[in-house]
Amino acid sequence: MQKITMKLNRRQALTLSAGAAFAVVAGIRTVPAYASAEDTEKRIMEFTGGKTPESGKLTLTAPEIAENGNTVPISVNVESAMTGDDMVESVIILAEGNPNPEVATFNFTAMSGSAAATTRMRLAKTQNVIAVAKMADGSVFMDKKEVKVTIGGCGG
Amino acid sequence: MATPKPRVKVPKTASAGEVIVLKTLISHDMESGQRKDKEGKVIPRQIINKFSCEFNGQPVFSCDLDPAISANPYFEFTAKVTESGTFKFTWVDDNGSTYSDEQKIDVK
Amino acid sequence: MKKISLAIAIAATAVSGLAFHASAEPVDEQLFIDGQEMISRAPAPEGHPFDEVLSGWLFREAETRAAEADSFANPGMLDVERGEEIWATVEGSAGKSCASCHNDAAETMKGVGARFPKWDADAKRPIDIELQIDKCRVDNMGAEAYKFDADEQKALTAYIKHQSLGMPVKLDLSEGEMQSWWDKGKDVYYTRTGQLNLSCASCHEASMGKYIRADHLSQGQVNGFPTYRFNTGGLVSIQNRFRGCIRDTRAEMPKAFSDELLALEVYVTWRGTGLSVETPAVRQ
């Protein structure tokens, strides 16, 4: 929306804000509700059992710029021997700016051999993608990447 | 939507103790529950909500999926193999259906 | 509201000349699909406005390019597999499948995707793969023609074209009246349409390599169609892409397989002469 209004002249911008005012009065909801950083934080705390995650060990890989928000490849990789106490139990993926922060939870076992996984996710707009790893010894780690979601040419 | 069709990629052979890469893909719209139809009614959510991989009956990797996973869910992950056997892959749909595929590996 | 504001924004950017942003080169990389080398740059045929024809793959971001280079990571291959099933499925009153006459597509369909559209002497107009499938279904199988863009039509077309993966596109314009359809298609290509007053050439020739908002404009080649799009999570046919582009100029869309769009398919396919068939390509 910001990108769009940038390119409007004053009169068009006025027309638009009048339209927006109308939408509010008429109670029309034009923009879907998005999750917030607070919702995401809450979800992280649920996952870690109230523990604040440290940085390190976990690497989240995501493109800096996603060509299409409908399909964004992401990977997680946690340094771990995957035996005994040095085990990754699970990694949760969250997105701060989607309608709901939850994306996926990966569950690993000793037979995974490594705590590495890749999938493809949807991003409603430019936002932070967050990964949190829970280890068998109770420690938790986090990594965060901002992914810019671009607006397509004409069709969007 | 046609019946979801899984595809899996497992190496045919591996050496004992090797960590191998597995890839899976399944055709599925992953209807998020956020979209509306032409009449403005919300299209109900219908996604694959769980994916799991077992080797000779033992859990290797699993994933809980939310509607933010893209259509035609794709996973890449690893497995440590110590003996020959069969990988079993299972996808669980919101509608209760499960889809599965199996692949053998020869470990030397 | 969103639609309206978007339309204004597009019109505003077009009018103010801001639509096409800074130039950026296509990547200097070579496409290999599962290790098989694709021709993604080819010398242009005589009479072509460019010196070199370039695959749309070269204009995409690394993640999109990687998804096409690995046939397993390419979700369009799910449709190709679906096409393979349709190929062998009996339909219609004659009790035949495609395979009943054409046996193994890997042999009989090899090269087909590189040389269509071709001249159809019966219909006295060019025929593309979608129309050829319909012709077989109606005349030989006693089945109904597919509805435009039915999933089965896209899947079977992709399966047939995929049998020519890597083969260079080469049309035979000497057949029948192909040349005059090429001429007609060229007219369509350069005709500005819609409220935005854009022709195919405005974006894909004059502004090739530049950005339209955040989209890197390619030459608009069709050697990878039907193409898997991350945007829709499914295959997009050539005729659908043409209609979509025309819609985006805010013009009335011609019907799929109309003379206008069939001529355009002949001409645009020719513009990609020498490029490998990449079906199903992966795009954003």
Digitized pLDDT (tens) for each residue of chain C, 284 residues in all: 344 444 444 444 443 344 455 557 899 999 999 999 999 999 999 999 999 999 999 999 999 999 999 999 999 999 999 999 999 999 999 999 999 999 999 999 999 999 999 999 999 999 999 999 999 999 999 999 999 999 999 999 999 999 999 999 999 999 999 999 999 999 999 999 999 999 999 999 999 999 888 788 999 999 999 999 998 889 999 999 999 999 999 999 999 999 999 999 999 999 999 999 999 999 99
Q: Which of C213, C245, C248 to mutate to test the interface with A (most CBs of A within 10 A)?
A: C213
User: For B20, which residue in chain A has the nearest alpha carbon?
Assistant: A113
Answer positive or negative: Cα dihedral of C231, C236, C155, C228.
negative
Q: Which of C217, C231, C253 to mutate to test the interface with A (most CBs of A within 10 A)?
A: C231
- The domain total for chain A is 1
Q: What is the DSSP string of C231-264?
A: TTTEEE-HHHHHHHHHHHTT-PPPPTT-HHHHHH
Q: State yes or no: pLDDT of A11 exceeds 90.
A: no
Neighbours of chain C (3+ CB pairs under 8 A): A, B
Whole-number Å distance between alpha carbons of C137 and C213: 43
B91 in helix, strand or coil? Answer: strand
CB-count burial class (<10 Å; 0-12, 13-18, 19+) for C106: exposed
B1: confidence class by pLDDT, cuts 50, 70, 90: low
Q: Phi and psi (nearest 5°) for A143?
A: -140, 155
Domains along chain C with CATH numbers: 2-73+167-283 (1.10.760.10), 77-162 (1.10.760.10)
CATH number at residue A142: 2.60.40.2470
How far is C210 from A97, CA to CA, in rounded Å? 29
String of DSSP letters for A15-78:
HHHHHHHHHHHTT---S-----HHHHHHHHHHHHTSPPPBSSSEEEE--SEES-TT-EEEEEEE
In a domain, A19, yes or no: no
Q: Checking DSSP bridges between strand A140-149 and strand A65-66, what pairing results, if any? A: parallel
From chain C, the residues in CB contact with A1 under 8 A are 5
The ipTM of this complex is 0.95
CA B40 distance to own-chain centroid: 32
Q: Look up the pTM and report it.
A: 0.86
Q: Check CB contact of A72 with chain B, cutoff 8 Å.
A: yes
Residue A44 lies in a domain: yes
Task: Check CB contact of A110 with chain C, cutoff 8 Å.
Answer: no
Select from C39, C80, C56, C47 the least CA-distant residue to C234. C80
Residues 6+ apart with CB under 8 A from C183: none
**H helices of C24-146, where?**
62-69, 76-87, 98-102, 105-108, 112-115, 129-135
CB interface of B with C, residues 9-68, below 8 Å: 9, 23, 25, 27, 29-30
CA distance A36 to chain C (A): 22
Closest CA to C38 of C14, C65, C5, C77: C65
* CA–CA distance, C237 with B74 (Å, rounded to integer): 23
pLDDT the model gives residue A153: 67
Give the Å distances, CA to CA, from C7 to A13, A38, A155, C19: 13, 34, 10, 13
Average pLDDT over residues A113-126: 96
Structure token digits, residue C267: 């001409």
All chains having 3 or more CB pairs closer than 8 angstroms to chain B? A, C
**Does the residue A28 lie in any domain?**
no
Indicate whether A18 belongs to any domain.
Answer: no
How many CB atoms sit inside 10 A of residue C124's CB?
9
Residue A17 has pLDDT above 50, yes or no: no
What the block records as the tokens of C107 is 């042999």
Residue-wise over B75-101: b if at least 16 C-beta within 10 A, else e? bbbbbbbeeebebbbbbbbbeeeebeb
Residue A47 placed within a domain: yes
Q: Which domains does chain B have, with CATH numbers?
A: 5-33+43-107 (2.60.40.10)
Q: What phi and psi values does residue A103 have, to the nearest 5 degrees?
A: -120, -55
Report d(CA B93, CA A37) in Å as an integer: 29
The nearest alpha carbon in chain B to A77 belongs to: B77
Rounded Cα gap, residues C227 and A83, in angstroms: 44
Q: Helix crossing, C151-162 with C76-87: angle to 10°?
A: 90
How many helices (DSSP H) and strands (DSSP E) are in chain B?
0, 8
**Domain span at A138:** 37-149
Look at C233 and B74 and tell me if their CB atoms are within 8 Å: no
| Structural domain includes residue A113 | yes
C-alpha neighbours within 13 Å on the C-beta side of residue B52: 12
Selection from C11, C16, C18 nearest residue C210 by Cα = C18
* Residue tagged 């645009």 (tokens): C268
pLDDT of residue C5: 43
The percent of residues above 90 in pLDDT, for chain B, comes to 92
Q: Is residue A7 part of a domain?
A: no
- Indicate which of C2, C71, C72, C84 best probes the interface with B, i.e. most B CBs within 10 Å of its own CB: C72
- C149 Rama class: left (phi>0) / alpha (psi -120 to 50) / beta: left
Q: Cβ separation of B74 and C78 shorter than 8 Å?
A: no
- Alpha carbon distance C185, C271 (integer Å): 11
Q: Which residues are registered as beta bridge partners of B62?
A: A107, B52
Residues B88-95 have a mean pLDDT of: 98
Q: What pLDDT was estimated at residue C1?
A: 38
Is A16 part of the contact surface with chain C (CB cutoff 8 Å)?
A: yes
Phi and psi for B27 in degrees, rounded to 5?
Answer: -75, 120
Distance set, CA C211 to CA A65, B77, C147 (Å): 14, 36, 35
> How big is chain B, counted in residues?
108
Residues facing C103 on adjacent strands: none
pLDDT of the residue at A8: 41
With respect to residue A100, please indicate whether it lies within any of the assigned structural domains.
yes
Whole-angstrom distance, CA of residue C129 vs CA of residue C118 = 9
